[in-house]
Structure 1
């Protein structure tokens, strides 16, 4: 019984090795692209580099992306990846580099985006609706900026104190 299992294991190993050979080129290319992204991340990281202006960071990144395009012009797959990264960078450039000019300004607005995601989750959890309630709240004012009550009793108390006529006018 053990010898039979061993032969099956060897066959399985051989079959998997042959199957993986089909993906070696794709894996190698994707690994190279992953390396590019790591390099870009390091290039953009203010803690990994000396203090630079937004223009300097943008120029370094554009130079690197241009270099990738030039190096990979004979490899269609890698050229497509490099082109896509370059295009995406151009699309976001207007909001990407100005943060380097103001040291105290955070580079992303992830915390703010988390607040909006939290609002959407609370709306869905409390109303069971995605669209109509969200549109009503967006039309009614900037509710997401108001600190939310900590529990159900505080929520009931907060909503009970709002005059419906004032709410409608608002």
Structure 2
């Protein structure tokens, strides 16, 4: 085996050996988060109240299951705390078919507008005009990306 691969193998072996005690916690934490994500994806087409009840049962199970280490207990505690902060609005999307489950597209929409504003002006922060006329500028920016405009479209 080439020398470089032997060194890489030694690094990987050392890293895996030194972190071996952490892997059971990682596997257990991943299992909890994976179950939560599966419930929220709603592949079974449950109602909002059914998802709320099932998710609440999962959180109670997380709380009642003894953990093997302090880092895993801290992770589960943080997960439950963050979930509790989102709880009031977490399940509305299952009652409203047109309501998206995440705001990722909206974040991308504004992030793209912010990026183009920075690139056009050279400013690291938004220009004052975005605050005053921002709503119009963002919509115009998105419209210009969705449609191709030419002089023939708008005769003078």
TM-score bracket for the superposition, by shorter chain length: 0.7 to 0.9
Pick one of 118, 126, 138 that aligns with 1:124. 118
Point out the structure with the larger helix share.
Answer: 1
TM-score, normalised to structure 2, is 0.75
TM-score, normalised to structure 1, is 0.70
Unmatched 5+ residue regions in structure 1? 156-170
Q: Which has the higher contact order (CA 8 A, sep 6+)?
A: 2
1:5-154 correspondence to structure 2 within 5 Å: 17=13, 20-46=16-42, 48-53=43-48, 55-73=49-67, 75-133=69-127, 135-143=128-136, 144-146=138-140, 147-150=142-145
Unmatched 5+ residue regions in structure 2? 151-156
Over aligned residues, Cα RMSD in angstroms?
A: 3.0
Verify the 8 A CA contact 1:44 1:57 in the aligned structure 2.
Answer: yes
Q: Structure 1 CA distance, aligned partners of 2:130 and 2:34?
A: 40
Highest CA radius of gyration, 1 or 2? 1
Aligned residues: 144
